Amino acid sequence: MATYTAPLRDMRFVLFELLDAQSAFAAMPAYADVDADTVMAVLEEAGKFASQVIAPLNGVGDVEGCRIDADGAVSTATGFKEAYRQYVDAGWPSLACAPEYGGQGLPITLNNSVYEMFNSANQAWLMYAGLSHSAYECLRTHGTDQQRTVYLPKLVSGQWTGTMCLTEPHCGTDLGILRTRAEPDADGSYRISGTKIFISAGEHDMAENILHLVLARLPDAPTGTRGISLFLVPKFIPDGNGEVGVRNTIRAGSLEHKMGIHGNATCVMNLDDARGWLIGEPHRGLNAMFVMMNSARLGVGMQSLGLAEMANQQALGYARDRLQMRAASGPVRPDKAADPIIVHPDVRRMLLTNRAYTEAGRAFSTWVALLIDQELSHPDPAVREQSGALVTLLTPVIKAFITDNAFDTINQAMQVFGGHGYIHEWGVEQLARDARINMIYEGTNGIQALDLLGRKVLADGGARLAAFGQLIAAFVAEQGDQPAMAEFTAPLAELGGQIVKVTGAIGASAGNNPDAVGAAAVHYLRLVGHLVYGYFWARMARVALDNADSGDGFYTAKLATARFYFAKLFPETAWHLAALRAGSEPLMALDAELF
C-alpha cells in the first residue's frame, strides 16, 4: 500500500521564505495574528490526518467504489463515512470560513495547503467535502440573508455538503442550451425538473443533507446563457428550525462507471418538480455560479498537485530501493548485485521532471491563494483590485497547466516503476486513472486555454497580462547585477518579450480570422504557464543561492532543480512558439468530411 508523507518542509519554504506570507497576513487585519508557528501547527495536524486517516482508504475506495439502491440512496466505501466524521469533529471544514457562520476565520492560503495534502492522500474522499466550500462562497456572495442564516452554518460545520449541478446529457460546456426548467410556485419557491449528469458527490451517506446548486431556466428566460438562473435545491428541505425536514424530489438515478476516482459517487441526478429557491437575480445564474466555478477550478488544480506529490514520493522511494544494472560510471553499490535505478540518467530525468513541476505548482498555487486572501481582506482597495486582476488572469493557468503537468508527472512515475507501475498494488496506476479527470473537470483544458487567451488577455487589451509582466520585469531588473542569476533571468525575460509580441500578433490576426484564437490557445497557455513557473523557479533559485552556505541540503536540491527546469523543461516554449506562429491553416485546411 502506498504511504504519504506531508511535504511540510517545502510548504514552510514556499509560505515563509519565498512568499513571506507572515508579512502579507500582518497587513490584513483579519489575519494579523496568524504567524508561522500557527500555520505550521495546523499543517502538521493536517498532514497527520492525511497520512493516518484518509490515505489508507484511498485504495479501499478504488476497489469498492460506491453502491446505489433502488431508491437512489448511495453508500460510500468502507471507512469513508467514519473518516468524514473525524474530519468534521476536528473542525477542518470551518478552517477558512467566516466566524459569523461558525468558521475559524483563517486564511484561504492555509486552507489551500491543507487541501493539497488531503488530495494527495485521497482525492475521491475529499471531493465529498471539497465543493462545500465553493457552495459556501457562492451563497455567502449571492444568497439572501435567510439563505445565509439557514444554510451557511451547516456548510461551515460540515454537517451538510454541497454540489454543483451544471452538465446535462446533451450539453457540457455549452450551458446556453441547457433544458432544466424552473416553474415559480405560489410560496416563492420554484418547481424544478430536469436531469443533470456527472454530479460529483451528488448523493452519499456521509452528511445528513446535500445542498445542490442547480442551473435552470425560468419560463420567461431568453435563449442562451443570458436566460440561465441559479437555484438552491436541498436533498432535505429545512424545517422551521433550520434542521432536516421533508425529502425533496431530487434523487440519484444512477452512478457513472468511471475510469478513476471510484470512491467518489459521480451521479446522474433527476429533478422531478423538486423545490428550489432562487440564488441571486433571475437570468443571471452564471454570474452567481462563476463564484463557485472559479473556486472549483482552483480546487481542481490542487487535486492534481496533490496527486503529483503522491506520485513523486512513490517513484522516488522506489528508485532509491530498486536494484537494476550498474551505473555507467561504475558501481555505486558494489556490496549489492546491482545499483539502485536512481543512478541512471533517464530515471533522474523523470524524477527531476516530477520534482520541478510539483514544486513549481506548489509555489504558484500558494501565491494565488495568497492573492485571493488579499483580494478579499486587504484594507487597501488598490491591493484588492490588483490581486483580483491577477487571480482572474491566472485561474485558467492554475486549472490547466497544473493538471496537464501533474498527469505527465504521474505517467513519469509509472515509468520509473517499470512493470510494477502497471500493477494495482503499488498505487501509481490508480493515481493515473484518478488524475485523468482533472484535465476535463470544470471546463476542459482547451476551454481554459480559450478563456485565458480570449477573455483574460485579448478582451482587456492585455492589461492583466502586463501587470503580471511587470512583476517579472521588476524581479529581472532587481537581479540584473547578480551573475549567478543570469541563467534564470535571461530566458525568463526573453520569453516575456516573446509572449508580448505573439499576443499582439494573435490579436491582429483575430480581426480577420475567426479561427486564430482557437488555433493558438493551447500553445499560448503552455507559454504563459512556463512564464509563471519560470518566474517562481527563478525566485526559488534566488532564495537557494542566498542560503548556499547554510550546509542545508534542501537548498542544494532546490537550486539543482531550478537549473534542471530551465535547462530541460523551459525549452518546450520554443516549439510552442513555432507551432503557434504556424497559425490556423494547418488545422483548418482539411475538409471535415475527409477526416
- How would residue 516 be classed by pLDDT, with cut points 50, 70 and 90? very high
In the chain, the percentage of residues whose pLDDT exceeds 70 is 100
**Is residue 365, in this structure, part of any structural domain at all?**
no
Domain count for the chain: 3
571 and 466 belong to one structural domain: yes
- Which residue among 230, 250, 284 closes a domain? 284
**What pLDDT is recorded for position 297?**
84
Helices (H), 437-462: 445-450
**What pLDDT is recorded for position 5?**
98
What CATH number corresponds to the domain at position 273?
2.40.110.20
**Is residue 325, in this structure, part of any structural domain at all?**
no
**What pLDDT is recorded for position 346?**
97
- Which residue among 263, 284, 305 closes a domain? 284
Q: Give the pLDDT confidence of 351-405 residue by residue, as tens digits.
A: 999 999 999 999 999 999 999 999 999 999 999 999 999 999 999 999 999 999 9
CA atoms of 166 and 442, how far apart (whole Å): 10
Say which of 116, 137, 309, 442 is annotated catalytic.
442
114 and 182 belong to one structural domain: no
545 and 478 belong to one structural domain: yes
Q: Give the pLDDT confidence of 188-235 residue by residue, as tens digits.
A: 999 999 999 999 999 999 999 999 999 999 999 998 888 999 999 999
Backbone angles phi, psi at 220, to 5 degrees: -100, 15
Query: Using an 8 Å Cβ cutoff, are 288 and 215 in contact?
Result: no
Residue with cell 451544471: 166
Helices (H), 484-566: 486-510, 516-546, 553-564
**Is residue 558, in this structure, part of any structural domain at all?**
yes
442 is catalytic: yes
92 and 225 belong to one structural domain: no
- Which residue among 284, 316, 351 closes a domain? 284
Q: Is 177 helix (H, G, I), strand (E, B) or coil?
A: helix
In DSSP terms, 162 is beta-bridged to 211
231 and 181 belong to one structural domain: yes
Query: Using an 8 Å Cβ cutoff, are 390 and 445 in contact?
Result: no
- Quote the cell numbers at residue 3: 504511504
**Is residue 54, in this structure, part of any structural domain at all?**
yes
453 and 571 belong to one structural domain: yes
Report the mean per-residue pLDDT for the chain. Answer: 96
- How would residue 285 be classed by pLDDT, with cut points 50, 70 and 90? confident
Judge whether residue 444 has pLDDT over 80. Answer: yes
**Is residue 266, in this structure, part of any structural domain at all?**
yes
- Quote the cell numbers at residue 42: 495546523
In the chain, the percentage of residues whose pLDDT exceeds 90 is 94
CA atoms of 429 and 374, how far apart (whole Å): 39
580 and 453 belong to one structural domain: yes
Average the pLDDT over 573-588 and give the result.
96
136 and 170 belong to one structural domain: no
Judge whether residue 1 has pLDDT over 70. Answer: no
Tell me the residue type at 270: N
CA atoms of 60 and 424, how far apart (whole Å): 12
233 and 207 belong to one structural domain: yes
**Is residue 299, in this structure, part of any structural domain at all?**
no
Q: Give the pLDDT confidence of 126-144 residue by residue, as tens digits.
A: 999 988 988 999 999 999 9
476 and 518 belong to one structural domain: yes
Query: Using an 8 Å Cβ cutoff, are 108 and 93 in contact?
Result: no
In DSSP terms, 209 is beta-bridged to 160
Q: Give the pLDDT confidence of 75-89 residue by residue, as tens digits.
A: 999 999 999 999 999
CA atoms of 140 and 312, how far apart (whole Å): 37
**What pLDDT is recorded for position 370?**
97
CA atoms of 81 and 539, how far apart (whole Å): 42
**Is residue 190, in this structure, part of any structural domain at all?**
yes
What CATH number corresponds to the domain at position 68?
1.10.540.10
124 and 183 belong to one structural domain: no
Q: Which range of residues forms the domain containing residue 451?
A: 444-586
**Is residue 402, in this structure, part of any structural domain at all?**
no
CA atoms of 123 and 20, how far apart (whole Å): 29
106 and 167 belong to one structural domain: no
CA atoms of 557 and 579, how far apart (whole Å): 33
Among the listed residues 135, 141, 268, 137, the one whose alpha carbon sits nearest the alpha carbon of residue 209: 135
Residue with cell 493515473: 432
- How would residue 291 be classed by pLDDT, with cut points 50, 70 and 90? confident
Q: Is 256 helix (H, G, I), strand (E, B) or coil?
A: coil
